[in-house]
Amino acid sequence: MSSYDYDLFVIGGGSGGVRSARVAASLGKKVGIAEEYRYGGTCVIRGCVPKKLFVYASQYHEHFEDAAGYGWTVGESKFDWKKLIEAKDKEIARLEGLYRKGLDNAKADIFDTRAELIDANTIRLVKTGKTVTADKIVIAVGGSPNHHSALPGYELCISSNEAFHLEELPKSILIAGGGYIAVEFANIFHGLGVDVTLIYRGAEILSRFDQDMRRGLHEAMEQKGIRVLCHDVIEEVTKTEAGLRARTMKGEMLDVGVVMLALGRDPNTKNLGLEAAGVKTDGRGAIVVDDYSRSSVPNIYALGDVTDRVQLTPVAIHEAMCFIETVYKNNPTKPDHDLIATAVFSQPEIGTVGLSEEDAGKRFKELEVYRAEFRPMKATLSGRKEKTIMKLIVNAEDRKVVGAHILGHDAGEMAQILGITLKAGCTKDDFDRTMAVHPTAAEELVTMYSPSYRVIDGQRV
C-alpha cells in the first residue's frame, strides 16, 4: 500500500492529461486529476474542435456560390453568428461532458481547480487550499496565447481564445501571425463575410511548410480577397470612434473592428511550483523532459504542449500513452515524433507529412520531385478559380517517399492516409504499383510517373 494519497496525480485536464489519468485509472491505479478551466482542454474547448466547426460554417458561402454551376438556384442566404456560437457551445459542452464521464467511469477523482506543486510529491488544490500527495505526477498544463505585451495597445487585441466567443461578428479583422492558427482564422473570418487582413513579419506565411504549399495558399487567399501583408508587423494599436487603428512598421494605418494576435503560444508554467519541486524549464518556460517525457525530477513527467515538442493534440495523446506503457506496463516507450502528418484547415486546405522540398534537399544528395498542379473537377462547372497542388519528394538513392504535400480540398483527410505510407517506408515504386481511384483528386498521387524536376545538392536541376 502506497503511503501517498494517489498513485498518480495529473495537473491539466486537456488532451494529454485526460488520457494519462483515464488510462492509468482504468488499470486500477488511484488517480486524481485537476483542471482549472474546462475538461477537454485547448483542443476541445478553444482549439481544434470549435475551430473545425467554424471552418465548416465558413465554407457554406462558397458552397452556395458553386451550386449555381450545377443547376441549383439557392435563395437568399444569411449568416447568424450568434446561432453558430450557440450551436458550437452546445457541442463543446457535450464533448466536455464525455471527457468527464470517461474519467468518472475509470474512477479517477476529478477536481475542478487549479493545482500547483509544493514539492516533488505534494500538490496544492488552489480552490480549497487542500494538499494531496502522489507517487507520480504528470504535468499536462498545455500553453496559452502569447499576449505580446510589448506591443502598445496589446490589451485592445484578442487571441484565438476570445475569437470563439466574440459577441458580434466584426466587419473587418486584422490578424497578426503567419502560423496555422492565424491562417486558419483568416480563412474562417473571410468565409463568414468579414474583411480580413493578415499581417506577418516573415517573407511567406507558414514557415516550415513546403514552399509550394506556402506560396500556393498565399495566392489562393489573395485571390479570394484576403489581404496578406508579409515583411510587416503591427507597431501600435489604438482605439478610434469606430473601432481600432493599427499602425504597421511600414507605416500603414489599418482601421478595423478587431485585431487578433496569433503570435505563438507560451507554456503554462508560471507559478506552478516547478522550482519548489525541482522541475527544470527551458528559456521559454517549457518543461525539459527526457526521451520518455520524464522531467528533471524522476517521479514527475510532463507531456503535451507544456514540453514544447510538437504542439498537436494527437502528439499529446501519444505521449500520454507512451507514459502509461513506460510507467505502468513495464514497457519503456519513447514517443515517436517522426513523420507526423498534419493539416492546415485553410481554404484550400494543406495536408502534409514528412520533409518539405527545402529540408529534404539539405538532408539528401539527390531528390526526385513529382509535382502536379491542376484545377479540381468540381471547379469546372462551378467556375471557381482554384487549383490543387500535389507534391511527392523522393530520395533518389533508395526511392523512398520522404515528403508528401497537398494543397486542395480534403488535403487533411489525404494526409492521414499518406502518413501511413510514409511511416511504412513506401517507395515511389509502391505508389506507382497502386491502382488509382477514379475520378478523384487523390489519384494524382499514384499517377505522377516521371519526376517534374530533380534537386541535387539542394539545387533544382
Ligand X SMILES: Cc1cc2nc3c(=O)[nH]c(=O)nc-3n(C[C@H](O)[C@H](O)[C@H](O)COP(=O)(O)OP(=O)(O)OC[C@H]3O[C@@H](n4cnc5c(N)ncnc54)[C@H](O)[C@@H]3O)c2cc1C
Interaction with ligand X in 266-295: which residues (CB under 6 A)? 268, 272
CA distances from 61 to 3, 67, 224, 228, 264 (A): 60, 10, 12, 21, 29
| Closest among 195, 172, 175, 200 to 185, alpha carbons compared | 175
Whether 390 contacts 408, CB under 8 Å: yes
Burial of 53 (0-12, 13-18, 19+ CB in 10 A): middle
The partner residues of 260 in beta bridges, in order of sequence, read 158, 175
Q: What is the DSSP letter of 18?
A: H
Q: Which residues of 414-451 are buried (b: 16+ CB within 10 A; e: fewer)?
A: bbeebbebbeeebebeebeeeeeeeeebbebbbebeeb
Q: Which is nearer to ligand X, 41 or 403 (CB)?
A: 41
Per CB under 6 A, 302 contacts ligand X: no
Distance CA 45, CA 443 (A): 36
Interaction with ligand X in 71-100: which residues (CB under 6 A)? none
Distance CA 461, CA 457 (A): 10
Active-site residue (options: 61, 190, 405, 438): 438
Please, what is the minimum distance in Å from the beta carbon of residue 139 to ligand X? 8
The partner residues of 174 in beta bridges, in order of sequence, read 197, 259
Number of residues that bind ligand X (CB under 6 A): 35
Which one of residues 23, 123, 141, 186 is an interface residue with ligand X (CB under 6 A)? 141
Per CB under 6 A, 115 contacts ligand X: yes
Per CB under 6 A, 140 contacts ligand X: yes
Q: Three-class SS of residue 139? A: strand
Which one of residues 160, 248, 346, 356 is an interface residue with ligand X (CB under 6 A)? 160
Per CB under 6 A, 109 contacts ligand X: no
Per CB under 6 A, 5 contacts ligand X: no
Please, what is the minimum distance in Å from the beta carbon of residue 429 to ligand X? 32
Q: Which is nearer to ligand X, 127 or 280 (CB)?
A: 127
Which one of residues 8, 14, 31, 234 is an interface residue with ligand X (CB under 6 A)? 14
Q: Which is nearer to ligand X, 16 or 178 (CB)?
A: 16
Whether 17 contacts 138, CB under 8 Å: yes
Distance CA 176, CA 430 (A): 42
Q: Which is nearer to ligand X, 396 or 417 (CB)?
A: 417
Residue 148 appears among annotated catalytic residues: no
Per CB under 6 A, 125 contacts ligand X: no
Q: What is the CA angle 150-263-229, rounded to 5?
A: 100
Per CB under 6 A, 51 contacts ligand X: yes
Per CB under 6 A, 395 contacts ligand X: no
Please, what is the minimum distance in Å from the beta carbon of residue 311 to ligand X? 4
The partner residues of 116 in beta bridges, in order of sequence, read 124
* Selected range binding ligand X among 84-92, 137-145, 243-251, 348-356, rule: CB under 6 A: 137-145
Q: What is the DSSP letter of 194?
A: -
Q: Three-class SS of residue 186? A: helix
Q: Which is nearer to ligand X, 140 or 393 (CB)?
A: 140
Per CB under 6 A, 347 contacts ligand X: no
Per CB under 6 A, 169 contacts ligand X: no
Q: Which is nearer to ligand X, 35 or 368 (CB)?
A: 35
CA distances from 261 to 186, 194, 308, 352, 421 (A): 11, 16, 20, 25, 36
Interaction with ligand X in 224-263: which residues (CB under 6 A)? none
Q: Which is nearer to ligand X, 257 or 314 (CB)?
A: 314
- 171-200 mask for ligand X (x: CB under 6 A)? ----------x-------------------
Residues with a catalytic annotation lie at 438
Q: Which residues contact ligand X by CB under 6 A? A: 11-17, 34-37, 41-43, 47-48, 51, 114-116, 140-142, 160, 181, 268, 272, 304-306, 311-314, 316
